[in-house]
Amino acid sequence: MNIGAGRKLPLWASVALNMLIALVAVSLVQGFLVKAYRIPSGSMEPTLQGSADGGDRILVNRLAYLGSGPGTGDIVVFTRPESWQAESAVPRSGGIASLARSFGDVTGIGPSNERFLVKRVVASGGQTISCCGDDGKVRIDGQPLDEPYLFEDLPFVAGSLDCQSSARSLRCVPDFTVPEGELVVLGDHRSNSVDSAINCRSYTDEVVDCVRTIESSAVVGQVAGRFWPLNRVGGVG
């Protein structure tokens, strides 16, 4: 005889169980398929709007690079290397705030622990990046890169503020061949981005070996689009 047949859970237990099932489902989806993040800084403006208190919420396709790697122009989320500084205030730990950030890491709702960065891939393993020729453009394997998404780029004036002038343009990057399995990533808001070229940005010093990279394995996935705020819902490019 089935003693428990027909027995109903109390309302509070039913609600709690349904919430637990929903949270597990969200965790599984974000762990293996699509994950939500918020943009904490303005380094990718105007493509992605961000601030310490809020910003765009994005969806990241975790399956985008199965069997392949990111290519030039892809916008990716990656785990921030220990040597890279955070782009917004480091949150304090402990208490309810810590629990809220952990919830934000899982759901993309509310604050998060800021362990991740979002940038655009400009060069991958085996490619050589440099900047700049007389046109002031980033070059990949000697070919100028078309970057219509750039916002407030660093100043460059051929003949007076370039890579040969006594006061060098902050846009300059020496020839650098990206090691296999690594990526060079830059922000679209080039003058406000802590990225692969941040150590190259000097007016006077001759900067050598200044380009820093991230491991391809650190990439969480490719940004698929925005889901919040409602007036900015859509894809990114």
| DSSP type of residue 87 | S
What separation, in Å, do the N-terminal and C-terminal C-alpha atoms of the chain show?
62
The residue annotated as part of the active site, out of 41, 43, 124, 130, is 43
The residue annotated as part of the active site, out of 35, 41, 112, 119, is 119
| DSSP type of residue 151 | -
- Strands 173-177, 50-51: pairing is unpaired
Q: Is 23 helix (H, G, I), strand (E, B) or coil?
A: helix
| DSSP type of residue 157 | B
CA angle at residue 168 from 164 to 171, to 5 degrees? 105
**Is 196 a catalytic site residue?**
no
**Is 51 a catalytic site residue?**
no
How many Å apart are CA 126 and CA 183, to the nearest integer?
Answer: 10
Active-site residue set: 43, 119
